[in-house]
Amino acid sequence: MTDATQLPFASAARSAARAMSGLEFLRGLMDGTVPPPAFSATARIWPVEVGEGRVVFEGEPKCDFYNPMGVIHGGWVATLLDTAMACAAHSALKPGETFTTLSMSITYVRPVVETTGRLRCAGVLLHSGGRIASAEGKVYDISNDLIAHGSETCLIMRASRGS
């Protein structure tokens, strides 16, 4: 089911993303001139630092994301990592370029529960070429203990006029 209220955002964000460099777009998310995607409120994930080749997100784990084992689902941690790593790749894009994640690898080091508190994830660009970008990310808790780390490969594409 599609929420009709999100369709104007999706179209406006897509247009903005294609008109700006990746870094300009991400800075717009930080300063509020570009509205955040709907998933970030639901997932409780938001950007806190944006720079060329490095983007930091924070996330608030809540019991809404518990799996049957009584810990935060690994998919939520993967979403935090994917967001930071992909945005690190996004920061290197020129106007008119877009990207999609091709692959992602994650290693989970320790479990997360609601009382773990806010997590911080830094995504760092390792390489950006004409078609491929790669990044790595690390998630830490408020005590600076490593929670998970990963790597990601993204496909860089020229945005087509019709999509």
Q: Lowest mean pLDDT: which of 9-13, 31-35, 42-46, 68-72? A: 9-13
For residues 55 and 111, give the distance between their C-alpha atoms in angstroms, rounded to a whole number.
23
Q: Residue 2 pLDDT more than 50?
A: no
Q: What is the pLDDT of residue 1?
A: 37
CATH code matching the domain that covers 6-158, chosen among 3.30.565.10, 3.10.129.10, 3.40.50.920, 3.40.50.720: 3.10.129.10
58-83: average pLDDT: 96
- Return the domain boundaries, the chain: 6-158
Is residue 85 over pLDDT 60?
yes
Query: What average pLDDT score do residues 55-84 get?
Result: 96
65 with 96: CB under 8 angstroms? no
Cβ partners under 8 Å of residue 141, min gap 6: 112, 116, 117, 118, 119, 147
pTM of the model: 0.89
142 CA to centre of own chain: 19
Radius of gyration of the chain (CA): 16
Per-residue pLDDT, 12:
65
Describe the crossing of helices 22-31 and 74-90 by its angle, rounded to 10 degrees.
Answer: 120
> What is d(CA 151, CA 153) in angstroms, rounded to the nearest whole number?
7
Report the percentage of the chain scoring pLDDT > 70: 88
Residue 11 pLDDT level (bands cut at 50, 70, 90): low
